[in-house]
């Protein structure tokens, strides 16, 4: 395992721990070989942030690389307003607030806090429906915070040859790596 965990792995690991293996194995290849419509649309939704075109205001950090030493996490934030302390994670479409979404913003929260910023509010924003979903900060939701920490431990301890790994058929049916996985239940 790497000395740090990319923040995107938090959501991916919850979906299927094996997806991290495939993501690393195929990550250098042309994405059109394995990405599907949701991944392509998600990437397009982040284009303005990734290219620094979301805002010209100096108080807005966009697409900034971050690192959290405490949890050994790294990645990028979508948007952080340094004046209001509002951290915003943009998603193409939010049908449900998944734990992985929350854990990704928790990782961003902890990294920004270590960097000396004060995060007052966390928002998961749905581009499709123009909706903001306000999340509890980690210290305001002890159950989710504990689940976040347990996830970090699980990722660090996971082994691909784990005999106790049980694939989930519903997830296998939606997995972009289903054709490549020998655990696939489809």
- Average pLDDT of the chain? 83
Instruction: Report yes or no: 23 and 17 within 8 Å, Cβ to Cβ.
Output: no
Instruction: Report yes or no: 84 and 54 within 8 Å, Cβ to Cβ.
Output: no
**Among 17-21, 43-47, 128-132, 154-158, which stretch is predicted with the lowest mean pLDDT?**
43-47
By CB atoms closer than 10 A (0-12, 13-18, 19+), residue 18 is: buried
Residue 115 is predicted with a pLDDT of: 96
Phi-psi region of 73 (alpha: psi -120 to 50; beta: other; left: phi over 0): beta
- What is the rounded CA–CA span in Å between residue 87 and residue 77? 8
The pLDDT-based confidence of 97 (bands split at 50, 70, 90) is very high
The enclosing H or E element of 80 equals strand 79-81
Maximum average pLDDT range among 13-17, 49-53, 176-180: 13-17
Question: Per residue in 81-90, pLDDT tens?
Answer: 999 999 999 9
- What is the rounded CA–CA span in Å between residue 83 and residue 103? 24
Overall domain count for the chain: 1
Residue at 186 is within a domain: no
Strand pairing category for 60-62 and 65-68: unpaired
Q: What is the mean pLDDT of residues 135-148?
A: 98
Instruction: Report yes or no: 36 and 174 within 8 Å, Cβ to Cβ.
Output: no
Residue at 165 is within a domain: yes
Residue at 185 is within a domain: no
Domain of residue 163 covers 5-180
Residue at 100 is within a domain: yes
CATH code, domain carrying 58: 3.90.320.10
């Amino acid at each position: 395992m790497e000395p740090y965990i990319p923040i995107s792995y938090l959501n991916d690991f919850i979906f299927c721990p094996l997806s991290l293996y495939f993501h690393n194995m195929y990550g250098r290849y042309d994405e059109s070989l394995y990405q599907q419509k949701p991944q392509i649309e998600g990437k397009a939704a982040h284009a303005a942030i990734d290219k620094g075109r979301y805002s010209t205001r100096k108080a807005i950090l966009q697409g900034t690389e971050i690192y959290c030493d405490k949890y050994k996490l790294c990645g990028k934030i979508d948007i952080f307003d340094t004046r209001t302390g509002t951290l915003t994670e943009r998603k193409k479409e939010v049908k449900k607030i998944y734990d992985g979404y929350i854990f990704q913003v928790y990782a961003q929260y902890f990294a920004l806090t270590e960097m000396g910023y004060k995060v007052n509010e966390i928002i998961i924003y749905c581009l499709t429906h123009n909706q903001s979903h306000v999340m509890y900060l980690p210290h305001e939701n002890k159950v989710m915070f504990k689940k976040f920490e347990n996830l970090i431990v699980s990722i660090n301890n996971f082994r691909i040859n784990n005999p106790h790994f049980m694939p989930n058929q519903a997830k296998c049916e939606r997995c972009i790596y289903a054709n490549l996985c020998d655990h696939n239940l489809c």
